[in-house]
Structure 1
Amino acid sequence: MTEIPMSDAAAPAADVSSPPAPESSGLKKRRWRSPSQEPPRTGKKLKKNESESTAAPASAPDPAPTLAAAAAAAPAPAPAPAPSRLSGVHLRTKAELFELAAKREDEWKTRQIQLADDKHALEYYKKRVEETERAIAAAPAKIAELKKEMKRLKSAAFAAKK
């Protein structure tokens, strides 16, 4: 099998039916053809170093197909877009990438809003804790003051009864 450099892309592509030599990483690299460059498939499984042109021909098709065979031969679906050189990686269309980016941006903005809300709530509760701590620290003095006031009122009430 001969490798064709990328600069010679206009030249016919090399046969890809046989596996290329493995790279040092152990992964196999596959050169892809566009669907228009693919030879017609015979449906026969090929041997390791055999291309469709050198494979034994499949049984000749019946020249007069029946009505059922014609109905079964519905129009073929449109060929899928040619995959990139990164086989095994899920590739997304541009629209999917834009949708994903918009979704992530929305999630990021939502998270920023939540963080800001959390920050404001944290500041509010810190102030409440400080006020409570001040009230607790001032409580003994306040209690002593209230006890004095209560004694004064009791003595005033007792004096008023006499």
Structure 2
Amino acid sequence: MELTPYVEALRRSLAAAGQAAADDVRAAAERLSYAVEPSLRLTLLEALGDAAAEVTSQLDGVAVEVRLRGGDPELVAAELAPPQPPTPPQPPTPPTHPEPDEGTSRVSLRLPETLKVRVEEAAAADGMSVNAWLIRAVLQTLEPNRSSSVRINIGRNISGWVR
């Protein structure tokens, strides 16, 4: 796109405005028209850039850009590539399993009543006992990057799977 016709139109407008004035004002208007040419070209480029951005925002999948070739702006429409789907995260590695003959230990845990109620509700929602739910929570905290599906044996009477 050639900007010279627009610059010349501004020069003619300034000259026409100066025709009604004295000779020294006409000469000043003519000199001024040449002095503002670089600023005018830059302003026109900014206007083209803003127009390209507005057109881009209204088109789906197309970006309009202003490129300079030899000092002259050129509007170019380019098709945007669809966004790539994110890569799925790596599956967690399974946790280390307790040894089958590993004994169990008893721990007394004191919880505020409100927290105890929340633990019981969460365990019930997962279809687990409070003890199994707490074991899973401890394993997840100690091994956060690992799956929580481990085989547990509790005491002599209780055994099961935690998920």
Provide the TM-score with structure 1 as the length reference.
Answer: 0.24
Provide the TM-score with structure 2 as the length reference.
Answer: 0.24
More strand by share: 2
